[in-house]
Amino acid sequence: MLPLPSGEILLSNNAVNGLGSMLIYHPDGAPVAAGKPAIANLPVNKAGKVVLAEGGTFTITGTLFNGISQAASYGDDASMATNYPIVRLESKAGLAVWYCRTFGHSSMEVAVREVVVSTNFTVPWDVPWEDYDLRVIATGIASDPSSVTVAW
């Protein structure tokens, strides 16, 4: 089982004869509110706007960036950690979703609600210039959106 950034669960059934299947579990209801990451700070320009350059690397801070668990494991042969932040850009025009590479996490502790942590993220080079909702996702639970603009 693997928690996905959407909050869904991907399940692989690897049959002995090699004819396995992939299943996706779609949960009912809302995610656990106590597990929602919160963005505290994004880089702001002189005009007070968050403008991200394509290909640029930025630091973001907040709480619960590592989620409320380390995700799933199966015996001693499979472990699917999700205690790291994922940064997602959602086009306000509804055209696309982009995922940014994250790295340099200040902490990997889970279920620490009161500690502000940071991570770095890089905006992909091919992200179109437009307005986006930026969210941080941990253990399949997304933060509230922060408005950002990708431009040069």
Average pLDDT over the chain, rounded to an integer: 85
Q: Which residue has the higher pLDDT, 50 or 20?
A: 50
User: Is domain 32-150 given the CATH code 2.60.40.10 in the classification?
Assistant: yes
Number of neighbouring beta carbons within 10 Å of residue 39: 18
What local confidence, expressed as pLDDT, does residue 15 receive?
58
pLDDT in tens, 15-38: 555 667 888 888 888 888 888 999
pLDDT band at 149 (very low <50, low <70, confident <90, very high): very high
pLDDT band at 150 (very low <50, low <70, confident <90, very high): very high
- pTM for this structure? 0.83
Strands in the chain per DSSP E: 2-3, 9-13, 21-25, 38-41, 51-52, 57-63, 71-74, 78-81, 86-91, 97-103, 117-122, 130-138, 141-142, 146-150
